[in-house]
Structure 1
Amino acid sequence: MSEVLTERDLRTLMAVVEEGRQDEPTDGLPWAVLDELAGLIRCDAVTFTEGDLVHHRALFDQNYEEGQRWFDPPNPFSADMWTNFTNFLPFRHGGCAGNQVGVVRWSDFYSLRELREQPLFAEYFGPLGCRYSVGLSLPTSPGRHRKISLWRDTGSDFNERDRLVLRLLQPHLYDVLLDARRRQQRVPKLSPREWEVLQLADQGRSNADIARELFISVATVRKHLEHIYDRTGERTRASAAALMMPHFAATRTARSSTGE
């Protein structure tokens, strides 16, 4: 049966994104995102984690539970813990093992009885009181994983409406994450056209060359450069490019994910 979201659901979806854009950046997601997700989808806790799959370690673990917020310190996995993670099907098929990016529940792979027999659940999640989980993976570089997880200790499992909500939010949450990290690094936001002009300027193209490449006038190129200088606080194309171009790939990915 097809799931349908209510008007209230859609307004709350927009609130998750807007609150995230306005909230202070953190090393993970803005806290408002986790707060709003807990209100949009009933859960006992929300976590956002990043890990290094090559060196078998957690890079950070951001937690929201009953209004409490905290980061757990980075830590390496023991050999046994890593084996248990890699043998846990939601981990292997939910993007954490680098296979895909998606939204998966524990119950997509295990019944409750089968779940209790999994070493990872028996030794780690079970003692924490976790009963149900749904995870949303976000894009990241090869050899890494990046995942938002929602947890329930009691009641019923996450349903298809919850999965649909997370799927709709996925590209926007990724954009919020990149935007927060740019703001945390105090990287100004440029328009897509300004990025094109700056990229060509960084390649040593003259204003006339850039104008021909982009089918715009030389005066328009100058105007774009003036905007870039105003937003970056730099006065030359070389210094503006030195500040901004290290962030070009991340901003291009963000625009692609949101269809800009």
Structure 2
Amino acid sequence: MKVAAIQMCSGLDPEANLAALEPLLSAAAEQGARYALTPEVTTIFPESREQLRAVAAPFERHPQLARIAELARLHNMFVHVGSLPVPLADGRFANRSVLFGPDGAQAAFYDKIHLFDADIAGLDAYRESATYRAGERAVTAKLDDFTLGFSICYDMRFPRLYNSLANAGADLLAVPAAFTVPTGKAHWHVLLRARAIETGSYVIAAAQGGRHPNGRATYGHSLVIDPWGRVIAELEHDRPGVLVAELDPEAVREARRRVPALANAAEFAPPALQG
């Protein structure tokens, strides 16, 4: 199966972001992709919570999602919207990933579980949980001969999620992201290769890249990694583009036969201080 990672530089206007996405999906389809993944915050990359509240649309009858569903049907392709903000009743948002099938029907959705809350020396505290509400369940979905495992950006730092997805049958792990440049240079390749190696799975990571209208800069470098941890395709820049790679289900079976880490995992008691 051929898959495509769509790299974007999303801004503050959902319709402009959709207009930028359409030719990229067409290019993926022309190259034979059966599945296309877009980045985190595909439809809007907000400047502030107030700006997000002014433009984020309800999930039901969402105008950009309705058009993306049409594009999935037009191209006879699975289209996976890496994420978009969805208003919730408590005033916060879900950071939601949505998969459409080749018939244009919604196949699955996932709300980002791990939220970045941190106090960083010399910087203001960052509280993603003040704007977003964390999801509570892991999600998989069928993609022809593959089973897709969902995640979003910061999730990639939590191996237990990917272990859970792989044990539930996932052999292709999706990681849409909007990584900053410093953390991207330091951690992007290492973390994604580790998630592939420890689960014996393919990893596809679609990234935001470049300087955005909200003032942020993101790393780009969308990737596809094989179950042995090799980078088999990469956009080696931060500009919009399409990355296509072909996946072989036998590569998953072979990696898991050679290193049966999922089968060999053991339960154990929490550590106890001795001495």
Higher relative contact order (CA 8 A, sep 6+): 2
TM-score in terms of structure 1 length: 0.31
In proportion to residue count, which structure has more helix?
1
Normalized per residue, the structure richer in strand is 2
Select the structure of larger CA radius of gyration: 1
TM-score (norm. length: structure 2): 0.30
